[in-house]
């Protein structure tokens, strides 16, 4: 299909109505703090100590949570990787994905998966104009695709190579039969090539090198004026193989099966995985979580070593999670048509330079969209085009914060909604609907779609309201449906 044909299927609609902007856009004086934002891709709250996990070791995030405010009901405003990054870099909603036009030479074609518009301002540009030294360090391979433009406003950036499907090294030197014997995934050849062989060291993985680069930024800029450092690491996203020392913390010594670098974005009913294989995936994933935690801790130690800790706002967040068949339909991965908490519930922690809000457990409904609003509020800036999130600083400092009644999100051709009572998702044609009663003792044990038609209508009305009256629809093949198979 030609690129322009996608646009012909879109129904025109009024521009999205901006949400309440941060306090920065209302003239609050700049605090001139340093700012560090750390994003960890595909990081589930269920695997983190600050959110109740006792199985996965995250001592550095545990420590950080004691010094920060922990948001217990944080969610993405758009999915997956690139739509969320558009939110984080611009401060404006990517939902509901109007004017989608796929770019060439990419490996993902989904509504919303596109560069930021060149006529929209970015957070880094606004901070640069205000005198901040802006640095960007990432190993997310999708940032590298030709025509993406996420480096705007950054005077210093480093793209760390070799993660997942990054088009980095050639698999030609490596024995194909050995790869097939070891890995249950088509990603095996590029995975081995990008790690430099079958027995990589920890530093062959991208996460340690990403955080090392971020620490170098802190060292180089310890005597400059205020800085903004945005660190975005792809782990614990697939490919799921952890460095040996982290894998050994969680593996079953008796497992003799292949390493599954990925799972089908589907269900066990449609794509079965033996229980031992699923547990091995979880072991590798847990190891990658602990690796991220280890290196995040090193970054925080470097911030303290440079004497900047008490002058720096630090935000830790993820874009989304994933599923390991631990839900009603035994969903695996993060298919767009099955937006369960494993995908939607994300960690968000904010540490105030003065310690305000430390230890708070906050129940407000918040978005990834609120991260850039908080960044801008702390610096007293507003990007060209404005902001559509809410600064979270009032919740830490005891100021006024207007609570949201509900949240909405889009992923591919599917939509999601939640309020205090209901959790809803379906495709944009209102098919394949699930809705869950959040007031029930076990909310996700069963869908109530056939018994709560008014709740379904209410969710759909609000989704359309946020979308400006209608949802753009795009012709896609087999990317937005998981067949409902209730157990």
Question: Does 474 fall in a domain?
Answer: no
Q: Band the pLDDT of 23: cuts 50, 70, 90.
A: very low
0.85 cut: is pTM over it?
A: yes
How distant is the alpha carbon of residue 13 from its chain centre?
A: 28
Q: CB within 8 A of 177, min separation 6: which ones?
A: none
| pLDDT for position 482 | 47
CA–CA dist 111, 106 (Å, integer): 13
CA–CA dist 10, 16 (Å, integer): 15
Q: Band the pLDDT of 20: cuts 50, 70, 90.
A: very low
| pLDDT for position 30 | 62
| pLDDT for position 8 | 34
> Tens digits of per-residue pLDDT, 450-464?
999 999 999 999 999
> Tens digits of per-residue pLDDT, 200-238?
999 999 999 999 999 999 999 999 989 999 999 999 999
Count of domains for the chain: 1
Reading the block at residue 485, the tokens are: 């198979």
Does residue 51 carry a pLDDT above 90?
yes
| pLDDT for position 394 | 98
| pLDDT for position 146 | 85
Question: Does 2 fall in a domain?
Answer: no
The residue among 123, 161, 79 whose CA lies nearest residue 413 is 79
Does residue 422 carry a pLDDT above 60?
yes
Alpha carbons within 13 angstroms on the beta-carbon side of residue 313 total: 29
Question: Does 117 fall in a domain?
Answer: yes
How distant is the alpha carbon of residue 363 from its chain centre?
A: 20
Cα–Cα–Cα angle for 320, 127, 377, rounded to 5 degrees: 65
> Tens digits of per-residue pLDDT, 297-334?
999 999 999 999 999 999 999 999 999 999 999 999 99
Residue 390 near residue 400 (C-beta atoms within 8 A): no
> Tens digits of per-residue pLDDT, 126-159?
999 999 999 999 999 999 888 888 999 999 999 9
Rg (CA), the chain: 22
Which residue spans within 208-345 are E strands per DSSP? 227-233, 266-267, 312-317, 323-324, 331-333
Does residue 26 carry a pLDDT above 50?
no
Domain coverage including residue 287: 20-407
Alpha carbons within 13 angstroms on the beta-carbon side of residue 332 total: 22
Residue 414 near residue 471 (C-beta atoms within 8 A): no
Can you name the residues that pair with 137 across neighbouring β-strands?
Answer: 158, 231
CATH assignment of the domain containing 68: 3.40.720.10
Question: Does 235 fall in a domain?
Answer: yes
Question: Does 11 fall in a domain?
Answer: no
- Helix and strand numbers, DSSP H then E, in the chain: 13, 17
> Tens digits of per-residue pLDDT, 84-122?
999 999 999 999 999 898 888 888 899 999 998 888 899
Question: Does 346 fall in a domain?
Answer: yes
Does residue 172 carry a pLDDT above 80?
yes
Q: What backbone torsions phi and psi does residue 253 show, to the nearest 5 degrees?
A: -60, -20
| Lowest pLDDT segment from 22-26, 122-126, 217-221, 430-434 | 22-26
CA–CA dist 335, 264 (Å, integer): 9
Question: Does 476 fall in a domain?
Answer: no
Question: Does 413 fall in a domain?
Answer: no
Reading the block at residue 437, the tokens are: 């009663």
Residue 311 near residue 33 (C-beta atoms within 8 A): yes
CA–CA dist 368, 416 (Å, integer): 15
Q: Band the pLDDT of 1: cuts 50, 70, 90.
A: very low
């Amino acid at each position: 299909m030609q690129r322009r044909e996608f646009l012909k299927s879109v129904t025109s609609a009024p521009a999205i109505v901006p949400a309440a902007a941060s306090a920065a856009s209302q003239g609050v004086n700049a605090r001139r703090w340093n700012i560090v934002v750390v994003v960890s891709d595909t990081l589930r709250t269920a695997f983190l100590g600050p959110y109740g996990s006792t199985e996965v070791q995250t001592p550095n995030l545990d420590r950080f949570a004691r010094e920060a405010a922990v948001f217990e009901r944080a969610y993405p405003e758009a999915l997956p990787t690139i739509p969320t990054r558009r939110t984080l870099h611009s401060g404006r909603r990517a939902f509901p994905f109007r004017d989608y036009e796929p770019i060439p030479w990419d490996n993902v074609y989904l509504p919303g998966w596109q560069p930021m518009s060149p006529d929209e301002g970015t957070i880094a540009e606004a901070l640069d104009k205000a005198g901040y030294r802006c640095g960007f360090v990432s190993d997310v391979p999708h940032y590298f695709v030709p025509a993406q433009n996420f480096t705007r406003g950054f005077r210093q950036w480093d793209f760390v190579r070799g993660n997942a499907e990054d088009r980095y090294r050639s698999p030609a030197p490596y024995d194909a039969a050995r790869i097939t014997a070891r890995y249950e995934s088509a990603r095996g050849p590029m995975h081995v090539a990008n790690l430099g062989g079958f027995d990589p060291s920890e530093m062959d993985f991208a996460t340690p090198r990403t955080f090392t680069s971020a620490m170098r930024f802190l060292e180089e800029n310890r005597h400059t004026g205020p800085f903004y450092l945005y660190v975005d690491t792809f782990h614990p996203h697939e490919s799921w193989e952890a460095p040996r020392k982290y894998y050994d913390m969680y593996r079953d010594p008796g497992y003799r099966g292949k390493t599954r670098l990925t799972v089908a974005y589907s269900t066990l009913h449609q794509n079965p995985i033996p229980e031992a294989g699923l547990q091995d995936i979880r072991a590798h994933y847990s190891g990658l979580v602990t690796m991220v935690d280890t290196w995040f801790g090193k970054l925080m130690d470097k911030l303290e070593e440079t004497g900047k800790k008490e002058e720096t706002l630090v935000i830790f967040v993820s874009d989304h999670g994933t599923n390991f068949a631990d839900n009603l339909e035994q969903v695996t991965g993060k298919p767009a048509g099955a937006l369960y908490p494993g995908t939607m519930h994300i960690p968000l922690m904010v540490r105030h330079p003065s310690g305000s809000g430390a230890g708070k457990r906050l129940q407000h409904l918040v978005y990834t969209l609120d991260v850039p609003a908080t960044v801008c509020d702390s610096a007293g800036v507003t990007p060209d085009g404005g902001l559509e999130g809410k600064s979270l600083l009032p919740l830490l400092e005891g100021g006024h914060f207007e609570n949201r009644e509900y949240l909405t999100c889009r992923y591919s051709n599917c939509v999601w909604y939640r309020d205090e009572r209901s959790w809803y998702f379906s495709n944009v044609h209102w098919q394949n609907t699930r809705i869950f009663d959040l007031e029930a003792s076990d909310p996700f044990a069963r869908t109530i779609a056939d018994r709560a038609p008014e709740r379904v209508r209410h969710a759909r009305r609000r989704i359309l309201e946020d979308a400006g009256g209608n949802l753009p629809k795009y012709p896609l093949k087999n990317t937005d449906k998981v067949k409902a198979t209730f157990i």
